[in-house]
Amino acid sequence: MSQQLADRIRACRLCADRFAATATGHAPNPVVWFAAGARILIISQAPGLRVHQSNTPFWDRSGARLRDWMGIDEAAFYDRARVAILPSAFCFPGYDAAGIDLPPPPVCARTWHPAALAQIGQVPLRLLVGGHAHRRYLPGRLGVTETVRGWRDHAPGTFALPHPSWRNTGWLKRNPWFETEVLPALRARVAQVLTE
């Protein structure tokens, strides 16, 4: 990763006022995790509280589930030479008054994604995780379920996935085709690009 770009992102405070006004009242803490030449690009949502505290993306139950979906262990997942993680917002957006995660501020992807994507370069496999990533990178699609269900129609090398949050356990039960059809194809593709 260009140190200059990483340093500029880590120094970003564009959302300071927005975060100060949340129920968590926290300061920005951009979690930056990508490098040029990665084989897999994960475009995700935003850090949760545990990621905010650990400075490690997907360092939570969502990460455990995502690694299981991909069929890789922590060592492979956290190898920045092979896996780049680009959230829709680099900082934890905070909780609302009901304790629900706030959405990623759109200003983050608008401000930083073009430079980050240029830095990462072409990747053979791109995972779009959750509705925010779908809407930005698969515009015009209908909702998460139909977007994920249409996985065979996406550009080669792109998988659209639901968010691996444990809040989506009900979705996974209602859509068993995801586990029986999508995950075997995803795991095969992940294994292929990591061994090519």
Whether the CB-CB separation of 128 and 161 falls below 8 Å is answered with yes
Please report the DSSP string for 44-65 in residue order. Answer: E----HHHHHHT-TT-SHHHHH
| Gap between the Cα atoms of 173 and 179, Å rounded | 9
Q: Name the burial class of residue 110, with classes exposed (0-12), middle (13-18) and buried (19+) by CB atoms within 10 angstroms of its CB.
A: exposed
Half-sphere exposure (CA, 13 Å, Cβ side) for 115? 14
Binds ligand SF4 by CB under 6 A, chosen from 5, 14, 35, 49: 14
Quick check: 12 binds ligand SF4 (CB under 6 A)?
Answer: yes
Quick check: 84 binds ligand SF4 (CB under 6 A)?
Answer: no
Q: How far is the CB of 170 from ligand SF4 (least distance, A)?
A: 29
Taking CB under 6 A as the binding criterion, the range among 102-110, 129-137, 143-151, 162-170 that sits at the site for ligand SF4 is 102-110
Number of residues that bind ligand SF4 (CB under 6 A): 14
Is the Cβ of residue 2 or residue 122 nearer to ligand SF4 in the bound state? 2
Whether the CB-CB separation of 29 and 73 falls below 8 Å is answered with no
Binds ligand SF4 by CB under 6 A, chosen from 111, 158, 172, 191: 111
Quick check: 28 binds ligand SF4 (CB under 6 A)?
Answer: yes
Quick check: 24 binds ligand SF4 (CB under 6 A)?
Answer: no
Residues near ligand SF4 (CB under 6 A) are 9, 12-15, 28, 30, 89-91, 105, 107-108, 111
